[in-house]
Amino acid sequence: MRKKPEKTSLERIPVRQNNKIILLPVAQIVSIVAEGRMLHLSTGTGESYEIDYRLKDLEARLDPAKFVRLSRHALANVEFIRHAEVRSNGTYLVVFKNDRQLLVSRVQSRILRARLFKL
């Protein structure tokens, strides 16, 4: 019987920059935000890139120990989260080490709290 090959997480994502294709290390990505069909990837060094890919498909190929969903439209690299501020409606505002901020949906706030903010 044949063994299914183990699913490995992406280590690099090919992105276009002018007339070049750069292999962007996933470890450098701070957040991924979907706008329509495009995904906006931002890095810890302040660079940003766009790729035409579905967020749920990319999420399935990323290491779930390193990336967490913030909302239907956003993923975050937990290594870059500086802190999360509790909002009056029970959600969070995540602040990253590069000072970028993203809101967390109500459903994902509960998941984020259970996953990241417990000892």
In this prediction, residue 115 has a pLDDT band, given cuts at 50, 70 and 90, of: confident
Question: 98: which residues sit within 8 A by CB, 6+ positions away?
Answer: 30, 42, 44, 46, 80
Q: Does the structure show a pLDDT above 90 at 33?
A: yes
DSSP codes joined into one string, 71-107? ETTEEEEGGGEEEEEEPTTS-EEEEETTS-EEEE-HH
Mean pLDDT, residues 8-22 taken together:
91
Sign of the dihedral through C-alpha 54, 43, 46, 98: positive
Percent residues over pLDDT 70 in the chain = 93
Distance CA 42, CA 49 (A): 7
Quote the pLDDT of residue 113: 85
pLDDT in tens, 35-77: 988 999 999 999 999 999 999 999 999 999 999 999 999 999 9
> What is the pLDDT, as a whole number, of residue 34?
97
pLDDT value of residue 69: 95
Percent of the chain with pLDDT over 90: 73
Domains and CATH numbers, the chain: 12-116 (2.40.50.1020)
Question: For residue 111, what pLDDT is reported?
Answer: 87
Torsion of the alpha carbons at 91, 97, 99 and 105, rounded to the nearest 10: -20
- pTM attached to this predicted model: 0.88
